[in-house]
Structure 1
């Protein structure tokens, strides 16, 4: 099977490629040399690197597309310029891919495209699944809604579209956890605000495995919540991380301090999102790490 992958050098992409060694991969990257260096442990000779989609008139040669490209959403404050980068890095790549899919006589059979649980916004402590329809004016929702709308233009009798509404991806060597680790290692970790906001999370291994599962499940389509079946409050997550690191857990970061430090993007830490992966479990996917305690113990052990 021939796959076209975008975002392959990112935190999720690097893990995903480890699970695709039996596939022929064409990887879209802005910097081929850096990508080769980043993936030198992963590339089994099955990866071809391209730095632009301009050389393609269609995507007839590909059986599937996995689209993970996008500016990291939590790395910087959401200035107007950064918001534009976040949007354009997602929307423009997706739009180009959709145009090429629709220009194909024999298009890819599946288009798997990124999104995020930010689509749902703050849902307080109410559990919900993919059937929840949301209309709001938050930036995170706006980014995801538009991103999904563009991707769904590729849907046809020949091409199914799967949308990855991703939670906080936990793994060693990158992602959100890398930023959280230091204060906890110093014994300064604790909940954010009152700690009662729900945090949808997923182990990096389950993230990659679930993408491959959608790739190989021919009847899978539409939005999927990529988060573990047992969401936890921020306080419980914080306690589990401190325990995995064998560190104390008694401090807290006040809500006002997070808002002061992060501005509008503080919603990523303060919104409560109790998303359930109903559709993933219904199609038979089994999580390796359904509980946060064992997930964090596994990650911390592998980081040593």
Structure 2
């Protein structure tokens, strides 16, 4: 057994993938979740016990943003990120042997709507609006802790693409049923990362003992929405797809109980730090990523 990995919020699409990968490498994986099968957030003593002496504390916890942003959901989105991060930080502080590394999820949505330039860790411009405020509060909660023996890294994660779940399921269905055209004007940038590359980023940062601070987690070749939807259609052997104009998306979002921001915000995010520090992307282009997902 290599050591202990503690994952908070590790029961979703990404968390389940990571758990399988870590276990294949010989790590013991402990999950903190609202799911009664795992350590519950109310059991602070068990959380502390789990974190004690761990190789990595990985926090992926947070209510899905795929919902309508009314007050109840807004409050839950905020609290599910900031309060869990605060609780984990307090547990780390109380450990006799704190984790070597604490990686906290954040989001590439923290940057402004950008169709004029790429957002890097150093030169990225923070945006405005509800999603940005969530991201800022999330990172503030994380970096409010001063932990002398635990490295802290926040991952500004872009859209995660992978097999058998996540966002690829609805995108593939749109293409299959002839609805895989551009969304809005199609010019909004689409930053993404293959789930295997995201896992390898975490392994890379575990081994890179001087790595701290903020990292953008996105493939080095973002594309626009029109190009992405064309790639999805090609994946499904569909030459054409009906476009979804903004008014259609606004109407559909009401019935689907979601927000059009998830589709229409231009996210142009690039992983400068990872590239400069030599991280080898396995799926740097959308064609390579979708080819793996297809098979």
Alpha-carbon distance, 1:215 to partner: 2.1
Partner SS state of residue 214, structure 2: strand
Structure 2's unaligned 5+ residue stretches are none
Taking the aligned partners of 2:269 and 2:164, their CA distance within structure 1 comes to 25
Residue 162 of structure 2 contacts residue 293 of structure 2 at CA under 8 Å; is this kept in 1?
Answer: yes
Residue 110 of structure 2 contacts residue 126 of structure 2 at CA under 8 Å; is this kept in 1?
Answer: no
Alpha-carbon distance, 1:188 to partner: 2.1
Of 179, 187, 190, the match for 1:196: 187
CA gap of 1:229–1:136, structure 2 versus 1, over 3 A, is closer
Taking the aligned partners of 2:162 and 2:106, their CA distance within structure 1 comes to 19
Q: Does 2:220 align with 1:229?
A: yes
Q: TM-score scaled to structure 1, two decimals?
A: 0.88
Partner SS state of residue 5, structure 2: strand
Note the alpha carbon deviations across 1:139-190, whole angstroms, 9 max, x for none: 1111111101111123433111111111111112211111212121112211
Taking the aligned partners of 2:127 and 2:183, their CA distance within structure 1 comes to 24
Match of 1:295 in 2: 289
Q: Does 2:6 align with 1:12?
A: no
Q: TM-score scaled to structure 2, two decimals?
A: 0.90
Q: Does 2:62 align with 1:73?
A: no
Match of 1:39 in 2: none
Match of 2:259 in 1: 265
Note the alpha carbon deviations across 1:56-114, whole angstroms, 9 max, x for none: 4574332320001111112x222211111111111111110011112234321211000
Taking the aligned partners of 1:147 and 1:99, their CA distance within structure 2 comes to 15
Q: Which segment is superposed worse, 139-148 or 53-62?
A: 53-62
Aligned-residue CA RMSD (Å): 1.8
> Aligned pairs, how many?
285
